[in-house]
Structure 1
């Protein structure tokens, strides 16, 4: 639908979004390590770290030589794997543009918890839709979808530069762009629920992000771009000064 470029939304509570940058670096590093590996190693990594619904919902067991982490851990590990550079680039671009302001609103540690929880929620929703699937789910889309939902709740009026349909530069309010994106995900889960793209993972991340941002945001962070009004200290009312007294004329009265 659109490619986000810049939101001109400055940080207000943190100096550097180092959790966002760290997540981008981790995703890129994992991709580079798998990109230069053999096809057999890539397949083993995807099966070992990807989220396979049947292993959690249908009593299917992975081959013992491909069990890299416990099945429950794949609710998280799957989100650091990507199929190709375009899959990685799209997710990391959304994370770069929108993640810093959500991190600013939540704080570093709570943003990391938020990100991982949205990833897990995306995997869980995917598993509910296709519980017997043996195909591994990979990608950070669920976590990124949660960030998009949180950004929409926090900053709907911020103007965002995007490339609409990949070529038309536009500057539009976030509520138009992100609300349309979210509605598209819900529409696609109804129309193409079991297609190649896991729309369910996106929807799971969206729901988790919308709920968690309300719980995890800092106390002084407003919603919907509202202005925080800090009450001024009550001023002590001072009595009015007495009227000036005219000094008597040295010449006396006439």
Structure 2
């Protein structure tokens, strides 16, 4: 399944979502312009390396934030930003601009810590906004379970668009991520599935516990 759009209009302009998308695109453009030797230095400075965070947490903690704005390739970038655009606008609408930004970065940072703890001696760099965006998706599940998400569904050689309740779409998504996380080796390069799962859980818990009076 691939989500196209939802039937959940917003009341306010999603300033933070658009700003995050723009910043990620600009950083990726700069990143891809670097020659290989400078790219290595760039990643060493801003990506999240589990062993370095464990060995020197006070110095490397900034990487829990900076790594959220780096991406491995164009598909990684576009996939992440599409999900942020689709699900983030409604959560920003609920939380307000500044609270949403704090929530987004916090989910990404906690997801990064959880992933690091599964492979604390790893020197494989971690990059991407997936943990933060998974948090947004978890919050969306709690707040808008009945919203419908028009999704492309692949049925063998046939592709069709079907409106799917958010509760169904997101439950299937997180179930798949959980299975992949259980099967993946966190010491090897690849997708940080556990960051997805933990970010999703943090976002869902945050929205569940948030008093209704704190929502817009």
TM-score surpassing 0.5? yes
Q: After TM superposition, which residue ranges in structure 1, 4 or more long, deviate above 4 angstroms?
A: 215-218
Structure 1 unaligned segments of length 5 or more: list them. Answer: 62-68, 223-254
The 5 Å alignment of 1:214-233 reads 214-216=208-210, 219=213, 221=215
The 5 Å alignment of 1:78-227 reads 78-165=67-154, 167-194=159-186, 196-216=190-210, 219=213, 221=215
8 Å contact 1:4–1:161 — kept in the other structure?
Answer: yes
Shift of 1:146: 0.4
CA RMSD, 1 decimal: 2.1
Alignment partner, residue 40 of structure 1: 37
CA distance in 2, matches of 1:213, 1:70: 31
User: Of the two structures, which has the highest relative contact order with CA contacts closer than 8 Å and spacing of 6 or more?
Assistant: 2
Query: Is 1:22 aligned to 2:14, yes or no?
Result: no
8 Å contact 1:107–1:217 — kept in the other structure?
Answer: no
Q: Deviations over 1:39-82 (max 9, x none)?
A: 2222211121111010122x279xxxxxxx93010011101000
8 Å contact 2:95–2:214 — kept in the other structure?
Answer: no
Query: Is 1:52 aligned to 2:49, yes or no?
Result: yes
CA distance in 2, matches of 1:220, 1:45: 39
TM-score scaled by length of structure 2: 0.91
CA distance in 2, matches of 1:220, 1:56: 33
Structure 1 residues 132 and 220: alpha-carbon distance in aligned structure 2, compared to 1, 3 A threshold: closer
Structure 1 residues 134 and 162: alpha-carbon distance in aligned structure 2, compared to 1, 3 A threshold: same
Alignment partner, residue 6 of structure 1: 5
Greater helix fraction, Structure 1 or Structure 2:
2
Alignment: residue pair count: 211
8 Å contact 1:193–1:199 — kept in the other structure?
Answer: no
CA distance in 1, matches of 2:109, 2:211: 19
TM-score scaled by length of structure 1: 0.78
Shift of 1:203: 1.5
Structure 2 unaligned segments of length 5 or more: list them. Answer: none
Shift of 1:193: 4.0
CA distance in 2, matches of 1:140, 1:86: 13
Q: Deviations over 1:89-144 (max 9, x none)?
A: 00000000000000011111110000000110111011111111001100010001
Larger radius of gyration: 1
